[in-house]
Amino acid sequence: MSDFLTQFGEDLKKNVPGFIAVSVAEIASGMSYYSQSVVADFDPELASAYNLEVVKAKMNAIKALGLKDQVIDNIMITLSSQIHIIDVSDNQEYFIYLAVDSTKANLGMTKSILNKYKKEIVAKL
């Protein structure tokens, strides 16, 4: 598992323009399985912990609204200089948290890479 996640992190760092940080976490426990940042004072594990609350709130809203057969694919938060993407696995058990520089990011490429890995994360975690 750690080899897969290490390769995942290196692939993102190399292929995602504007890469800042990434973390992979379990939704039920909040446990972070992997994190990496290229910015010294950006803690992706702490960011994941807070963004877990965003995911849980949205899951609760879906349930409260009675939206049957609806699952979260991703949540994107746009800040003035960064984009934060919370990409939830198809089985709704894990999420990838990714922060990128909004002036350098290519969202199409980033989303394509995340979609590839979120399927593998379900199979390998």
Q: What's the pLDDT tens digit per position in 18-50?
A: 999 999 999 999 999 999 999 999 999 999 999
CATH number at residue 113: 3.30.450.30
> For the chain, how many structural domains are there in total?
1
Question: DSSP assignment of the chain, as one string?
Answer: -HHHHHHHHHHHHHHSTTEEEEEEEETTT--EEEEEESSTT--HHHHHHHHHHHHHHHHHHHHHTT-TT----EEEEE-SSEEEEEEE-TTSSEEEEEEEETTT--HHHHHHHHHHHHHHHHHH-
Work out the angle at residue 77's Cα, subtended by the Cα atoms of residues 2 and 88, and round it to the nearest 5 degrees: 40
Domain region containing 48 = 1-124
* pLDDT attached to residue 31: 93
* pLDDT attached to residue 29: 94
Of 60, 39, 119, 30, the C-alpha closest to 22 is 39
Q: What's the pLDDT tens digit per position in 46-97?
A: 999 999 999 999 999 999 999 988 899 999 999 999 999 999 998 999 999 9
Kindly tell me if the per-residue pLDDT of 1 is higher than 70: no
